[in-house]
Amino acid sequence: MNYRASLAGFKQAFINFIADPQWIIPSIIAPFIFTIVALMIYNDSSGPVVLQAVLGGGVLGMWGNTLYSSGWSISYDRYNGTLEPLMVSPTKIMDVVAGRAVWHTIIGLSNAVLVFVVAEIMFDTSLTLQNPLLFFAVLIMTLFSLASIGLIFSAFFVLTRTSSVLMSSLEFPIYVVSGALFPVTLLPSWASWVSLGLAPAWGVDAMRYAAFGAFETMDLLTDVGVMIILIVAYLVIAAGLFRRIERNVRSHGNMGRF
Amino acid sequence: MVDKRAVDDVTFQVKKGEIFGLLGPNGAGKTTTIKMLCTLLLPTSGDASVLGKSILKDDKDIRKRINLVSGGERGLYYRLTGRQNLRFFSELYGIPPATREARIEELLQLVGLGHAADVRVEDYSRGMKQRMHIARALVNDPDILFLDEPTIGLDPEISRDIRALVKKMADNGTTILLTTHYMFEAEELCDRIAVINNGKIVAMGTAQELKDLVKSSTVIEVVTVLDPQECFESLKQTPGVMNVVSDRFSGRHLNRFQVEKREELFDVINDALRPYRIVRAGYDEPTLEDTYISLVSHNEL
């Protein structure tokens, strides 16, 4: 891993965020709407159900942001015609994209904070977190799990010029199987199996434990442990995919097209 | 999909510090060759050695010591300023922070963009972007710089500035491999030139050596008031006429016929062009462009 390149990608994403106001849509407006919708669905409810709605709104916003940023990461280079200069450099594209993903993870965290603020101010949910530190730690890990899935998608986006179509089609299935808006146990069994392979689904579960307070340590450790294993697996898969796809792109020499 | 070899068994060597030109028509294989040497494209067979390293096995080592400038507007981050672009690419090459800012300032001065360093690239003119491309490609102080049609679409003044920059880089010891469509550019800049057509090198040498390839021929230059294009086809069929090039200048038509050295051809051509109101006619030495046209139209002499 080339940390300098990742830092360069991080700083670049930050500068672009400041320079390009369109980021307000996935980073601020979308999670705001998700939370309002979720809280309206669960209107007149209280306790765990409201928390589920707030968590759901937050995760949906974070996922939308992750997906948008992972698609953006490569389309941005295609648009600017910078994939060739990037590939001529000795840096792996994944290192740069990872840096950008970390920036968007931080933005995802601001989504989460915004969601809680909206819930408190507009819906007067009076939420209390039983284990705020634990909750925060699991939230950060969940964000990283989203970012690592985003890296896998970014690798595919190197291959295609239609990343926006892919992004749109990938957005909603994850909303359902991640357990963000309702527990995955309510889904058909095949969908529950899919969610087992999704690190954010384990993260949402762990956040629920941390928020409610009443949990078996083993259950929480299982959630966190599986999430870490899945994050590592995602990173390994992303690295392998980037390697293969970079080779594929070098075989066809089409990275300059937009 | 057309099954065509873009580059076919091309072999050439470039010496350290040399400016080597690849000349050829569109689709001849120039950019494909450059992309392979830059490790952007894998050859379907064969290998090439850049700085003594294989483009197949040592791509990462090669990339540290080369860079590429492509013609056209794209290739920079538009929302970032010129300085931010250079900083980003410097970081990709691992340039230490201690030397990075001084190097960026030096490059901005070199390409004459010191005054626009903190302006977003989207507000640059075409010429400024091209100069920024060159600065971007110099961030790692490359041993070899690949320039793929660096002056394409630029006005004459900016093109001259870019050529001056290329000369300056070569004077500083950078080896340069350049592709271009412009003969005068190749003649002015290149120590040696390879003419490539249909994926094969059809001739290679200094500009003078290439011109010597057609020294058995001469050029009859006829300036006419009217456009004589319609009679070119029949003239091309005349034994001894090798090729015809016609250009407009100052409202006149400059027609150059590359022909074998035979007295009677002068009269044949003048007779054919008389209806188009000849202003003047005479002999000229074959230029690099005449040689090039001859090479790419016949593929061999």
Tokens at A171, concatenated: 């957005």
Report the first-to-last Cα separation within chain A, whole angstroms: 28
Chain B positions with Cβ closer than 8 Å to A: 32, 35, 38-42, 60, 63-64, 66-68, 70, 72-80, 84, 87-89, 91-94, 120, 136-137, 140
Contact (CB<8Å) A250/B39: yes
pLDDT in the model for residue A107: 81
Determine whether the interchain pair B77/A247 forms a contact, defined as Cβ–Cβ distance below 8 Å.
no
Contact at CB, A82 and B75, closer than 8 angstroms: yes
**pLDDT above 70: residue A78:** yes
Q: pLDDT-derived band of residue A33, with 50, 70 and 90 as boundaries?
A: confident
Q: Quote the tokens at residue B35.
A: 């992309």
Q: What was the pLDDT predicted at A256?
A: 53
Contact A89 B93 (CB under 8 A): yes
CB B66 within 8 A of CB B143: yes
In this predicted structure, what is the pLDDT of residue A109? 77
For residue A118, give the 3-state DSSP assignment: helix
- Stated pTM of the model: 0.82
Nearest to A88 among B63, B77, B94 (CB): B63
- pLDDT for the residue numbered B91: 94
Question: Hey, which residues does B49 pair with through a beta bridge?
Answer: B54
Range of the domain at A187: 3-257
Mutate to test the interface with A, among B37, B44, B74 (most CBs of A within 10 A): B74
| Residue linked to tokens 């909603």 | A172
pLDDT of residue B300: 43
Q: Are A253 and B40 in contact (CB under 8 A)?
A: yes
What is the rounded CA–CA span in Å between residue B140 and residue B188? Answer: 26
User: Cβ separation of A85 and B89 shorter than 8 Å?
Assistant: yes
> Is A90–B64 a contact, with Cβ atoms under 8 angstroms apart?
yes
Give the pLDDT confidence score for residue B156 in this predicted structure.
Answer: 83
CB contact under 8 A, A5 and B91: yes
Name which residue leads in pLDDT, B141 or A3: B141
Q: Which residues of B touch A20 (CB under 8 A)?
A: 79
Q: What digits encode the pLDDT tens for the residues A101-115?
A: 888 878 877 777 777
Instruction: Tell me what pLDDT residue A258 has.
Output: 47
Q: Which residues pair with B144 in a beta bridge?
A: B66, B175
For the cut 70, the answer to whether the pLDDT of residue A236 exceeds it is: yes
Domain count along chain A: 1
| % of chain A surpassing 70 pLDDT | 91
Which residues of chain A form beta strands (DSSP E)? none
Instruction: Give the separation between CA A64 and CA A173, rounded to whole angstroms.
Output: 12
Low-confidence ranges of chain B (pLDDT < 50): 300-301
Contact (CB, 8 A) for A131 and A210? yes
DSSP for residue A28:
I
- Would you tell me which residues 58-97 of chain A have a C-beta closer than 8 angstroms to some C-beta of chain B? 76, 80-82, 84-91, 96
Give DSSP secondary structure letters for chain B. Answer: -----SS-S------TT-EEEEE--TTSSHHHHHHHHTTSS--SS---EETTEETTT-HHHHHHTEEEEESSS-SS-TTSBHHHHHHHHHHHTT--HHHHHHHHHHHHHHTT-GGGTTSBGGGS-HHHHHHHHHHHHTTT--SEEEEESTTTT--HHHHHHHHHHHHHHHHTT-EEEEEES-HHHHHHH-SEEEEEETTEEEEEE-HHHHHHTTTTEEEEEEEESS--GGGHHHHHTSTTEEEEEEEEETTEEEEEEEEES-HHHHHHHHHHHGGG-EEEEEEE---HHHHHHHHHHHS--
Could you tell me what percent of chain A has a pLDDT over 90?
A: 15
Task: Please tell me which residue, A70 or A152, carries the higher pLDDT value.
Answer: A152
For B40, name the nearest residue in chain A, comparing CA atoms only: A250
How far from each other are the two terminal CA atoms of chain B, in whole angstroms? Answer: 32
Gap between the Cα atoms of B229 and B267, Å rounded:
18
The shortest CB-CB distance from B84 to any of A15, A81, A96 is to A15
- C-alpha dist (Å) from residue A73 to A66, A170, B93: 10, 16, 20
- CA atoms of B295 and B213, how far apart (whole Å): 9
The Cα A249–Cα A52 span in angstroms is: 43
| B contacts of A96 (beta carbons < 8 Å) | 92
Which residues make beta-bridge pairs with B19? B176
CA distance B66 to chain A (A): 8
- Predicted local confidence at residue A50, as pLDDT: 73
Tokens of A192: 């529950």
Strand partners, B221: B256, B282
- CB within 8 Å of B243: residues ≥ 6 apart: B236, B257, B258, B290, B293, B294, B297
Touching B: A residues 148-187, CB under 8 Å: none
* Secondary element (H or E) of residue A81: none
Is A80's CB within 8 Å of B75's CB? yes
Q: Please check whether residue B146 is in contact with residue B133, taking contact to mean a CB–CB distance below 8 angstroms.
A: no
| Interchain pair A89, B92: CB under 8 A | yes
Q: Which two tokens stand for residue A59?
A: 């995760």
Q: For an interface test with B, which of A84, A88, A97 has the most B Cβ atoms less than 10 Å from its Cβ?
A: A88
Name the residue among A200, A191, A195, A192 with its Cα closest to residue A228: A200
pLDDT of A138 reads 92
Residue pair B213/B291 in contact (Cβ under 8 Å)? The answer is: yes
pLDDT in tens, A157-208: 777 666 667 777 777 777 777 777 677 777 788 877 888 888 888 998 898 8
Each as own residue / partner, the long-range contacts of residues B171-175 (CB below 8 Å, 24 or more positions apart, any chain) are B173/B16, B173/B17, B174/B17, B174/B142, B174/B143, B174/B144, B174/B145, B175/B14, B175/B15, B175/B16, B175/B17, B175/B18, B175/B19, B175/B20, B175/B143, B175/B144, B175/B145
Asked if A98 and A151 touch (Cβ cutoff 8 Å), the reply is yes
Whether the CB-CB separation of A230 and A145 falls below 8 Å is answered with yes
Q: Which chain A residue has its CA at the smallest distance from B92's CA?
A: A5
Kindly list the residues from chain A whose CB atom is less than 8 angstroms away from the CB atom of residue B77.
12, 16, 76, 80, 82
- pLDDT tens profile B206-238: 998 988 887 778 899 999 999 999 999 889 888
